[in-house]
Structure 1
Amino acid sequence: MDTQHDIALPHALAAIPGPVPPSGVLHAVIPHTSRFTVVGNHLAQHAELSLVAIGIGVHIQSLPAGSKVGIKALAARFPEGEVKIACALRELEAHGYLHRTRVRLPKGRVATRTVFCNQPGAALRGGMVPVVGPAVRSTAPAPTLVREHIRVPEPTPVAVPEPTAVPEPTPVPEPTAVPEPRPVPEAVPVPKPVPVPEAPHAPVRLPSRTAPTQPRRPLPHPHALTPELRQASSAFLADLRRHAEELVLSEQDVEELMPGVAAWLERDATTDAIRRALTADLPQPLKHPARLVRHRLTALLPPPLPGAHDLASPRRAPVTPFQTCDGCERAFRSHDPGHCRDCRARYGEAA
C-alpha cells in the first residue's frame, strides 16, 4: 500500500489512437492553445541539414519580425559557439530557408537584410507571401481560412424562338423565363494573427573588442619662441630629407612642427640627437611623414637638464654630540659639558 504507482503514463498510452507500436517513440499529442509555431516536416525531418541547423531554423521561425538573428545574437542566446552557428546558417542559406542580402540605407550605411522562408519550394514556384509581424502564432486554435477568387458566372444567352405563323393577324410570342443571377458569396475575411507578448529577456551586452581611443598629446612648445629658435627649427625640419628621403615635409608641416623642435633645442638637445630620434627605424612604407615627426617630437621629448644646485649632494643636518653628566654620569646630548636636565633641576631647587 505504501508503493506509489504512476497512472499518468497508462492513461496517456490509452489516449493514443490506433495500435501502439512495440518499440520506438510514442506521441502524446495535446493540442496547443497559445504560443505555438507551425513547422513543416520538410525542415524538422530534413535529410541533409544538421541537427544544429534544424534547431536554429525552428528557433528563427518562432521569433517575431525584427528580432536579431545574427551570429553574435544567437551565440549570446545559445551555448553553441560562433563557428558552429555560422556553419548552421550557411546550411539553411544553401537549402533556401535563409536569404541574406546587403542593402544600402538612406544615410549611406550598409546593413544585412535577413529573410527566413518557411517553405523554400513554394517560394521557388512563386507562392511566397510576405508575412508582417511574428511567425504563425495564435492564442486559440482556429480553422484555416483560404481566400479564393470566385468568378461571377456570366449570363448565358437565351435563345428566343421565332414566332410561328398563326391565323391571327397579330402574332404574340410567349414570354420566356430568364434565369435570375445567383448571389455572389462574399469573401470570408481572414482574421489577423494576434501577437503574443514575449517573455521579457534581459538585454545581452557583448563585450567591446576595441580599446578606448586615447586623446592625442599636444605638441610641445618652448617657454619663449625667439626668432633664433624659430630660424634654427625651420632649417632643421627642412634639412631632414637630406638624411631620410621619406621625411619630405611641406611648408605648412614645417610651420606646424617648428615649435616642437624649438622645445627640444630649448632643453639643450643637440641637432644630431634630434635627427637620430626622428630618423631611426622608419616604417616602410611611410605614408604620413608629418604625423610620424609630430609623434616622435611629442613622445620622445627629453626632460630639461638639471641645474648645478640639483646635482649637489644634500647637506646633512648637524648632529648634537653626547655629554656625560657630572652629577649622575648619565649621557645626554648637548654642545657644552655639564649636568643633565634632571641634575640641573635638582641643583637649582637646592640652591
Structure 2
Amino acid sequence: MDTQQNTALTRALAEVPGPLPTSGVIHIAIPHTDRFTIVGNHLAQHPDLSCTAVGIAVRIQSLPQGIEIGIKALAARCREGEKRIAAALRELEAFGYLQRVRDRLPSGRVITRTVFCNQPTALLRPRRPAAPQHPAAPAPHPAQAPAEVPTPLPAPAKAQAQAQVPTPVPATAPAPTPPPGPDMPALPPVPPPPLSAAHPAPLFVPLVPPPTVPKPPPAPLPRPDEPTPELDRAATALLSDLRRHAPQITLSETDIRHLVPGVAAWLERATHPDAIRRTLTTDLPHPLRHPAKLLKHRLTALLPPPLPGAHDLTTPARPRITVTPFQTCDDCDRAFRSPTPGHCRDCREHREHRSEATRTAA
C-alpha cells in the first residue's frame, strides 16, 4: 500500500508564495478571525528569557483582565510546577514584562497589583506631548487662493505621465493668524515636534543592573615546599601517563612543565599516584576543550592537606586531679580534709588560744 498523503497539507503548501526552502521550517500562515493574541518578536525571540518564561508570558497575555495570575493559579492552569513558574515570573519581572505595584485603596487597605506590559521598552521612550487645540482659522478669501494653471500635454504623453509621474501637490501659503481681539485670549506658542534620537532605543533594556563587584583572581597553582629532582621526575611521568587512562587528556610538553609543580605538591603531601590519577581523570566534561586548564583547576581546588605528624595523633594526657583525703580529729573525732592526720580547725584554734593564755599567766 502507498503512503497516505494529506491532501489538505499538500494544497496548503501549494499556496505558499515563492519557492519552498530545502531545509528549515516552512510556515503556513492562516489568518485568525477570533480568539487570538498578538505577541511581539521581542518576547517570542528574547535571547535571555527561557522558553518557560516566554510561554508563561504568552499565557498571561492571553488572559482577560482581573484574572488571578499568582503562582498557584498558574500552576492550576499549566503543566509546569510551582518552582518553574516562580522562576519564570522572576525572569519576566527582571526584564520589565511583569511588575508588582503596591496601591492603597480609598478604604486605607494596601493591596498589591500585578501589572503585565506586553512591550516594556515602549515605557522608557519619551511620550510626544499632545498638540493644543486651536480655534478654526477663517478660510482665506477665494480671491487670495493661488490659481493653478495646468500645462496642456498631448493625449498619449498625458496618459503616460499620469501612470508614471505622481501629481505634484501645490504648495499653499499658510493662513495668516489673526491678531487677538479684546475677547479672544492669545494662543500659546506651539512647541516644535521632538527631534528623532540619533541612536534608536535598545530592543531589550534589562532592569537588573550588571554586577559591579570584580571577580577575584584565580588561585595560583600549588608548589612543593621543598622541590627535589625525584618529585619533579615522578610528577612528569604521572602527567605524561594520563593519556593511557583518558585519551582526552593529551598534554603538550609545555603544559606538562607548567603542571609539574602542582602534581609535585600533591606527591609531597604523601598522596598516592593512583589517587592523583583518579582525581584528574574521573568525571571529565564532554567535549573536553582545554585539558590543561581543567587539570590546573583540579590540582588547585582539590589539594589535600598535609598528613598530620605522630605527635598530632596522640591523645593529650588528662590533668590528674589531686583529692585531699579525709582525716579524723584526735580531740573531737570530727572529719576534715587534710593531707596529714591531726586536729580540725576548731580544735587547733582552741589549742592555740589555751596555750596563749597559759603563756600570759606565766
TM-score normalised according to structure 2 size: 0.44
What TM-score do the two structures reach when normalised by structure 1?
Answer: 0.45
